[in-house]
Each structure stands twice: as structure tokens, then as C-alpha cells.
Amino acid sequence: MIPIECVKIIQSSIPRMIDARNNTILTLDCSYSYDSGDVKLVIRWFHNDSPEPIYQWIPESNIRYVGQLIRPYFDMNFTINDDQYSKYRALRLNIISLRQEQSMIVVPLSLSGNYSCVISSIANQDSRQSQMIIYVPPSLFQFHFVESSADQFALECLVQDVYPEPRMIFIQQKNYSELSSPSSINVTTINNCQNEIVNHRHHHCLYSAWFRRPIDTILMAGTIYECRIQLYGTLYVRKKRIKIIFPTKKKRETDVGGYIMVN
């Protein structure tokens, strides 16, 4: 009698972080080895700690189940290959919907989280798990001088349409020294549609945030001002810098002499 080789996962492909502006289609996959003599092969996907699968496929009967979480985004026609025991093993998701009435990207927050693929048969069971985070980089990121009063001016930093909630940091460097520790600033954040339900689906709209930082009227040569943004739970970091190239007294917003952007 020829021994049956147990089913075994070879590789899992679950994207760690997803830029939703540039990746609207996601593929989550688990490739595995199996023996055609093995029976009762079942492919299941789980999300977070839910005991119920979000997807299940039984190749022998070619029956598929798609859970409510991914059903609005799931591509039923997608196949990873032509093999009858693995062609429907992967998840293909369209993660972004566009609200035409507001021209707004709406992010399906609930799709972020831990994903587990479980491959089982009579002979064996194997599984893999990984976390996936969906984020949206800003559509606009600005850092510039503005007038705050007749004899005072400030630096303003603005980000629009990001997800998750941004963290904004202001840093100042003087006299060519090392950058100082991040300064305390008051950041205004707006999200007008948190936890909104669109077409019976839970979505999360985007954040906008900004701050104004008063600074000295006399601009010292060599001073560098920096605005840095981070998106919570991700590795996304961006920054913009303004460098004072010669001493000047800034009197109005249109007076741009004396500094350059050094992004």
C-alpha cells in the first residue's frame, strides 16, 4: 500500500500593509501540497478570533461558502490556477468603493485584522496566520507659512483624506544642531462619517488634520522646521521641511524670500 502524503501548507501570501489608493484589488493565498489519494480536503479562511470561517471551499463537491464580512468584495470568478484541488483556495477582494454623491473613497475598516488559512483533510491539518492593515495615504500634504495676525506669523501643516487617524509632529532645528525633540502642538482632526454604514456595509471614512505653530518673527539662517505625519498601526511616515537660508523678517504671507522647501 502506497502511503498518502499529508496535506501541508507550502507558503502563505497575506499582504502586511495595503495602500488603498494604489492597491484596490487584494489577493490572499495559501499554497499547499496534497495527495490526490487523501480525502475530505477542506480550505477555510478565518478573520480575527471568529470561530466561523469567512470562506470555505470543499473541492470534492466544489461547494463554496463566502461569509458576510467579505461577500461584498469577493470575486467569485477568480481562480488561482486550473487544478481541481486548489483553484479556488485564494481570496480575491475589491477593497474600495467610491461614493459618487460625495466623490469620497470609503475604506472597509472591518477588513483589516488577522487572517488565518486552514487546510485540512482526513490525514492532517495545517494553518498559517498573518495580520493585514489597510491604510490610505493623504491626498494632500502641505507645510507652509501663514499669517496669524498683523505682526505674527506661523507655520501650518495640513493633511487631507488619510486613514487610519494621523499623528502629526512638529520639529525645529536651530543653528545647524541636531533636531530637537518633537514639540507639543494642538492638532485638529476631522472625521465626519466614522463607523458609517453604506449599503448595509460597515465602512470608515477618511481623516483630515492640521495644526498651526507660531514661530519667531526673525528667521535665523540654518533653522529647519519639519512637519512629520505617521499613520497609527502602520509603518507609513512622511515629512516636509522648510529651511531658512538667510536671516529675514517675514512680514506677510506672500513674502517667500529667505527659505526653501527641503523635502
One-letter identity of residue 158:
L
Residues 128, 46: Cα–Cα separation, whole Å: 10
- What's the whole-number average pLDDT of the chain? 81
Place 127 in a pLDDT band, splitting at 50, 70 and 90.
Answer: very high
Helix/strand/coil percent split, the chain, to 5: 0, 50, 50
Of the residues 92, 110, 135, which one is the last residue of a structural domain?
135
CA distances from 17 to 50, 76, 134 (A): 21, 24, 6
Residues 59, 81: Cα–Cα separation, whole Å: 13
User: Which residues form the domain of 250?
Assistant: 140-261
Predicted local confidence at residue 21, as pLDDT: 84
Is the domain of 130 the same as that of 144? no
Is the domain of 22 the same as that of 86? yes
Is the domain of 71 the same as that of 106? yes
Residues 67, 59: Cα–Cα separation, whole Å: 18
Give the bridge partners for 92, in sequence order: 27
Closest CA to 204 of 191, 215, 216: 191
Q: Is the pLDDT of residue 49 over 80?
A: yes
Place 244 in a pLDDT band, splitting at 50, 70 and 90.
Answer: confident
Whole-prediction pTM? 0.76
Is the domain of 17 the same as that of 125? yes
Residue 187 included in any domain: yes
Task: Say which CATH number the domain at 115 has.
Answer: 2.60.40.10
- pLDDT tens digits for range 142-192: 999 887 766 678 899 999 988 888 999 999 887 655 455 555 567 787 775
Predicted local confidence at residue 44, as pLDDT: 98
Residue 161 included in any domain: yes
Closest CA to 254 of 143, 142, 146, 141: 146
Residues 65, 99: Cα–Cα separation, whole Å: 28
The stretch 63-72 carries a mean pLDDT of 95
- Our count of domains for the chain comes to 2
Of the residues 135, 167, 185, which one is the last residue of a structural domain?
135
The DSSP code for 74 is B
Residues 17, 39: Cα–Cα separation, whole Å: 36
